[in-house]
Structure formats: C-alpha cells, structure tokens
Amino acid sequence: MVPNDLLNQYDLIVKRSQYSRSNFLLDTNKGKYILRKVNIQTEQILFMYDAINHLRKNGFMEVEVIYLTKKNLPYATSKGQIYIMQSYTTSNDVEFKDTTDIKGIIRLLANFHTCGLNFDATERSEKIIHIKDVYVYFQKRIRDTNTLKKKVLPLSKKTEFEHLFLKDYTTYLTLQHLALECIDKESIDNLIKYAQTNKSLAHNDYNYHSVTKIGDNIYLSNLEKCSYNMQILDLCSILMKVMQKNNWDTDLLVTLIKEYEDIRTLSPEEKSILKAMMIFPEKFASICNKYLQCKRRNNYSMFLVKWNNMIVYKEEQVLAAHFIKDNL
C-alpha cells in the first residue's frame, strides 16, 4: 500500500495501486501515474523540473512532466525517502541492435540538444558547474596506464588479469595517444566557454536506460543526472555504446553521425572531440583506473570479466580508430 502521508501530498484519488521495482504504479481519477522512489538531492530534482519545462516549452515533448504536490514542489517525501510523480504509459525497451531504433535514439538526442539551449535554472548557475576537460582527462588516463604498467611489471607473482594487461596494454596505450592527437587544450576551453555562455543542457547519462519506446515513438525517460555541460559528450557516450554492441561497424557510425547532423550541425571543435572520444579506449581506461584504486589485489575476478568482454572486439576497435582518425 502507498503510505497515506505520501498520497496526501498530491491532489489525486487513487483507485488502485501496484508496487513494482521500488515504485508505485497508480490508477487515479486523473489517469495513470508512477510514483518513483529516487536517490537524488532535491536541488537536482528542482533543476530537472525546470529543464523538463524548458524543453517542452521549446517543442521537445518526448519527455514526461513531473507533477507538483499540493505545496507546488516537484517531489514528495515520506520517512526520509524522496519520490517524484510522473504520468505512466506501458512502454518497451529500445533495441540497440536495430538500426531503425538506433537512428531514432540519435535523432531524439539531437532534438533534445537543440531545445536545451539558453536554459535558465532557478536553483543553479551555469557559471559554477564543473565541466569535464577532456584534454586533461586523457592525460590523466594515459598516466594511469603507465603507472599500472610500472606497478605490475616487477611483480614476481602476477594475477591472470595482470598477465593479460601486460599482453595487450600497448595496443590501448597507442589508441590513447592517437585520441590525444585529435584535440588541443584551446578547443576544449572554447567548448566549455560555449556551454557556459549558451547555457547548454546535457543529459550526462544517455544510455539504454535513458530511452523508452511507446508505440513507434521513442521518449526520454531519465534526466536525473542532467546539468549544464558540453552536449557533444552525450553523443560520444551513446555512439561508443552503440559501436560496442555492433562490432565497431564504421558504416553505421557514419550513418548515425549524419542522422544527428541532419537536425543539429556539429561545429569543427565538436567534431574533433567526437573523433578523439570515439578513438579513446574508455573501457580500458576505466578498468585501469579502478584497478589502481582497488586495495585487494587478489580480488581481480571482476576486472578479469570486464577485460575479457572488452578484448573480444579489440581488433575491430583498432581498425575503427584508424578509420575515424582519417575519415571523420
């Protein structure tokens, strides 16, 4: 049952409720809703509420509104837990190996970015938001690779993961340096300044769980990590995931970039970041960084699984990286 103190915060009469995955599905006198349990700060919920309203005001309707409480708040609380209320429609997962679905996901992102400019949030200033410096990030991850090599090489007894790392790290280190060659500090600084000046909204977590399909239409379903940021990072993130799922098919990559640019043209600086981030072996860099921070060296099974999943498409990734460097 939905706690009464939670329901009383909304102007609704609930006819029937169902508990599903920490959420309440409600059939009410005003339609069907989902009361979602969230673990994010109220400041971010207020930002997300303003962002959704801004997007819809600018014509981006493929995102669910957040309904206010009787006190005009976009969230409710019960026993220290925070909830948000949104309308509910039965939906299906989007297939990331279906070309039609993938194109729809990319077009949705391009429309989201187009409508997410000049956004003024009541609870946050674009001037105080930290925006990731990709150039500095690449340099740090390259240092991680070299540090891990120096740490592992002299060990007399190496784990299976460490043997695999030493066998293949040079391939990925080469890709890291190749990616760094595609960008420069000035271009990154200009894009960061552009994001701040134009108050550009980015999703920051655009992946399989961020979209849903209702009928033939694709909708944005999760804006819980949205903030002011360089929008190109969203495109890089989703294209990287699509490539990993589709054996680094460069023809598909070119097609998807064109789908995006048919709606929102990329600047030369954005294209250079796109090229660099598609070449940069992010999964490899993440594994190395986390392994360096791991205190128990013999607890390596998780790293081994991730490494083996990554190494499956190593050759295709290397071929794709050189294609991207020469053709994008």
Sketch the domain layout of the chain as residue ranges. 4-87, 99-134+147-327
Look at residues 98, 137, 184 and name the one whose alpha carbon lies nearest to residue 286.
137
Using CA atoms, how far residue 316 sits from 148, 240, 241, 246, 308, in Å, is 25, 13, 14, 10, 15
CA–CA separation, 25 vs 32, rounded Å?
Answer: 7
pTM of the model: 0.92
- pLDDT band of 299, cuts 50, 70, 90: low
83 phi and psi angles, rounded to 5 deg: -130, 150
127 pLDDT above the threshold of 70: no
Would you state the pLDDT for residue 37? 92
Neighbours of 324 (CB within 10 A): 23
Q: Nearest 5 degrees, angle CA 153-CA 157-CA 158?
A: 60
Look at residues 236, 228, 220, 234 and name the one whose alpha carbon lies nearest to residue 278.
236
- Three-class SS of residue 77? strand
CA–CA separation, 235 vs 96, rounded Å?
Answer: 15
Residues 6+ apart with CB under 8 A from 42: 75, 82
Class of domain 99-134+147-327 as given by CATH: alpha beta
pLDDT in tens, 233-272: 999 999 999 999 899 999 999 999 999 999 999 999 999 9
DSSP secondary structure string, 251-275? HHHHHHHHHHHTTSPPPHHHHHHHH
- Three-class SS of residue 82? strand
Would you state the pLDDT for residue 91? 79
CA–CA separation, 17 vs 319, rounded Å?
Answer: 52
CA–CA separation, 298 vs 296, rounded Å?
Answer: 6
- pLDDT band of 302, cuts 50, 70, 90: confident
pLDDT in tens, 50-80: 999 999 999 999 998 999 999 999 999 998 9
298 pLDDT above the threshold of 80: no
| Identical topology for domains 4-87 and 99-134+147-327 | no
CA–CA separation, 328 vs 320, rounded Å?
Answer: 11
Q: Which residues pair with 27 in a beta bridge?
A: 16, 32
Neighbours of 139 (CB within 10 A): 14
CATH code of the domain made up of 4-87: 3.30.200.20
Cβ(126)–Cβ(54) below 8 Å: no
pLDDT in tens, 158-200: 989 999 999 999 999 999 999 999 999 999 999 999 999 999 9
- pLDDT band of 301, cuts 50, 70, 90: confident
Would you state the pLDDT for residue 52? 96
Placement of tokens 């921070």 in the chain: 293
